[in-house]
Chains A and B, each alone.
Chain A
């Protein structure tokens, strides 16, 4: 289990070297996405803003809707930036990767079968960031650089510049390993034993 310091966007080599259990500290740009904006994009089939599209090639997507303060010049200042539960956005994983080039999802709770398979097929990764730890995460966000679909506030699409972002735990890798699945498998076995004694 190794620790890597990576700079976003990530290369094929960056991703291929990562295995479940490794940890990552990240610098660079990440994009905040979640329920409302992904529903608009994939279910309501509203095209992404043209200036955003090319930026998503090789990008890291974070499952989030931040707390922010709007400044007089129209930009946003961070109040609290943390991570939401990923399973709700699972079915958008393949689309984000295949159609827009996103390579890494940062979230909490892991992905379901469909999203996990997309990561394997399209050589991506899922990094766990600890849920409920927004206080820490907020200090690692240097700036909110841009926002799209502001009308969905706070579920807009966000561009964050991060520094020393983490600890991130590689919990689903591009080689087909999945920490959440492994834990659940052991837990099922333990639970069956417990149930048999009740």
Chain B
């Protein structure tokens, strides 16, 4: 973009006002509470499909119970899972928006705390060394906040309360270039086997490819947080998603690790380029209650809450 164009664009930028930060705080409170109670429609559909397709009778019964859990949460206004997770936010910032980043982060944290205290929700966040629970679902560098900058006039805040059963089943390996795509496939399959019943299958298997080690792990989380049925636009990556999905569901781990052909609801990959000597792969599993909810802020209006 030419400098003149950039300056012209800047003139049209949305400079947020004082109310914005209060709106973010309120929205994050809503997002945290509602994401724990109301499962996104794509995940519901994926569970229904899995229930229809499951061949093993006991697996079918387990999937029926999971579906019943979701409707019980709807009817009784209950949390789907007691694990309120580690609150993770993905913030997508339009390049035409101007705001104070520190105040935004404070508002996100405050909204998370208020949800925890006012609902109340179980606080699962502790000091890593002393194990002291702050009672607020927040702490040093928690919530975890990821940023992405895109063209546009909006700010989108997506919460992913990440349950620990699945988060503890996270993997990273720096494979060699010689191990290639085969190595990636083998590693992912071994991770899913190793994690077994622990991440509350059927899971969304999030995979990060490439980048540096830290980037790769973040990509895996981003992939796990994607809507079910949103394949990667890159045909090579998409093919890998499909192959791994088929292979994982042939393994027979099944819903809750008790057998059957429903181990993964989806396999989703995010890929970055990498160093010529590197072939990084990371796996981040999302448990079957793949909770997420987003608020989209447009200039001069209250946020729109969607999944």
- CB-CB contacts of B52-76 with A at 8 A, as 1s and 0s? 0000001001100110111011001
Tell me the interface secondary structure of chain A in the complex.
Answer: mixed
Which residues of chain B from 278 to 307 have a CB within 8 Å of any chain A CB? 287-289
Contact of B81 among A69, A134, A155 (CB under 8 A): A134
Bound-state Cα–Cα, A136 to B182, Å: 42
- CB-CB contacts of A58-84 with B at 8 A, as 1s and 0s? 000000111111000000000111111
Contact of A84 among B83, B185, B251, B257 (CB under 8 A): B83
CB of B40 within 8 Å of the partner chain: no
CB neighbours of B122 from chain A (8 A): 65-68, 79-80, 154
CB pair A187–B251 under 8 Å, yes or no, is yes
Question: Chain B's nearest CB lies how many Å from the CB of A41?
Answer: 15
Bound-state Cα–Cα, A83 to B289, Å: 14
CB pair B163–A132 under 8 Å, yes or no, is yes
Q: Which stretch (A8-16, A47-55, A177-185) binds chain B?
A: A177-185
CB pair A135–B120 under 8 Å, yes or no, is no
CB of A169 within 8 Å of the partner chain: yes
Question: Chain A's nearest CB lies how many Å from the CB of B285?
Answer: 12
Q: Which stretch (A98-106, A115-123, A189-197) binds chain B?
A: A189-197
CB pair A36–B131 under 8 Å, yes or no, is yes
CB of A5 within 8 Å of the partner chain: no
CB of B160 within 8 Å of the partner chain: no
- CB-CB contacts of A170-182 with B at 8 A, as 1s and 0s? 0100000001101
CB pair A132–B287 under 8 Å, yes or no, is yes
CB of B269 within 8 Å of the partner chain: no
Bound-state Cα–Cα, A110 to B257, Å: 9
Interface centre among A128, A153, A180, A186 (most CB of B within 10 A): A180
CB neighbours of B72 from chain A (8 A): 135-136, 139
Contact of A67 among B62, B79, B163, B185 (CB under 8 A): B79
CB pair B251–A132 under 8 Å, yes or no, is no
Contact of A190 among B58, B69, B70, B252 (CB under 8 A): B252
Bound-state Cα–Cα, A73 to B258, Å: 43
CB pair A167–B65 under 8 Å, yes or no, is yes
CB pair B198–A132 under 8 Å, yes or no, is no
CB pair A132–B81 under 8 Å, yes or no, is yes
CB of A130 within 8 Å of the partner chain: yes
Which residues of chain B from 152 to 206 have a CB within 8 Å of any chain A CB? 163-165, 168, 182, 185-186, 189-190, 193, 196-198, 200
CB neighbours of B239 from chain A (8 A): none
Question: Chain B's nearest CB lies how many Å from the CB of A161?
Answer: 18
CB neighbours of B200 from chain A (8 A): 108, 131-132
CB pair A183–B258 under 8 Å, yes or no, is yes
CB of B256 within 8 Å of the partner chain: yes
Q: Which residue on B lies nearest to A194, using beta carbons?
A: B247
Bound-state Cα–Cα, A138 to B65, Å: 14
CB pair A82–B186 under 8 Å, yes or no, is no
Bound-state Cα–Cα, A179 to B254, Å: 12
CB pair B120–A187 under 8 Å, yes or no, is no
CB neighbours of A80 from chain B (8 A): 78-79, 81-82, 121-122
CB neighbours of B168 from chain A (8 A): 85
CB pair A195–B186 under 8 Å, yes or no, is yes
Which residues of chain B from 66 to 98 have a CB within 8 Å of any chain A CB? 66, 68-70, 72-73, 76, 78-84
CB neighbours of A85 from chain B (8 A): 164-165, 168, 198
CB of B139 within 8 Å of the partner chain: no
CB neighbours of A179 from chain B (8 A): 258-259
Bound-state Cα–Cα, A75 to B206, Å: 41
CB pair A133–B65 under 8 Å, yes or no, is yes
Interface centre among A131, A183, A191, A194 (most CB of B within 10 A): A131
7 additional A-B pairs beyond A69-B120, A85-B164, A136-B72, beta carbons within 8 Å, are A132-B288, A133-B66, A134-B69, A135-B76, A138-B82, A169-B258, A188-B193
29 residue pairs from A and B, CB less than 8 Å apart:
A67-B79, A67-B82, A67-B121, A68-B120, A68-B122, A80-B81, A80-B82, A82-B81, A84-B165, A108-B165, A109-B196, A109-B257, A128-B256, A130-B69, A133-B65, A134-B80, A134-B81, A135-B69, A138-B78, A138-B79, A154-B124, A169-B58, A182-B259, A183-B257, A184-B253, A186-B259, A190-B250, A190-B252, A191-B189
Q: Which residues of B contact A (CB under 8 A)?
A: 58, 61-62, 65-66, 68-70, 72-73, 76, 78-84, 119-124, 131, 133, 135, 163-165, 168, 182, 185-186, 189-190, 193, 196-198, 200, 247, 250-254, 256-259, 287-289
Which 6 A-B pairs give the minimum distances between C-beta atoms?
A82-B82, A67-B122, A135-B73, A80-B79, A134-B82, A80-B82
